[in-house]
Amino acid sequence: MARNTMSFIKGVGTGIAAGAVIATVSRSMMKNRKSLAKKTGKAMRAVGDFVESMQYMLK
């Protein structure tokens, strides 16, 4: 059961990460590239932190 829950949380985190990246890319295509890279990096780190904290909570 714990493995199923962990797999589900990882899947949700991956989906959120992909959605955040796609949203950031599509929203920022008109802006300069440096800003896009910075925002995408921030989104990726935020999602990574979220997934790590969820894994820690489930242990």
Query: Would you state the pLDDT for residue 6?
Result: 78
pTM attached to this predicted model: 0.44
The pLDDT assigned to 32 comes to 66
Q: Tell me: the pLDDT tens digits for 1-59?
A: 567 777 888 888 888 888 888 887 777 666 667 777 788 888 888 888 888 888 777 76
Within 8 A by CB and 6+ apart from 20, the residues are 43, 44, 46, 47
Pinpoint the alpha helices (H) of the chain.
Answer: 2-28, 33-58
Q: How far is Cα 29 from Cα 10, in angstroms, rounded to an integer? A: 28
Query: What pLDDT sits at residue 30?
Result: 62
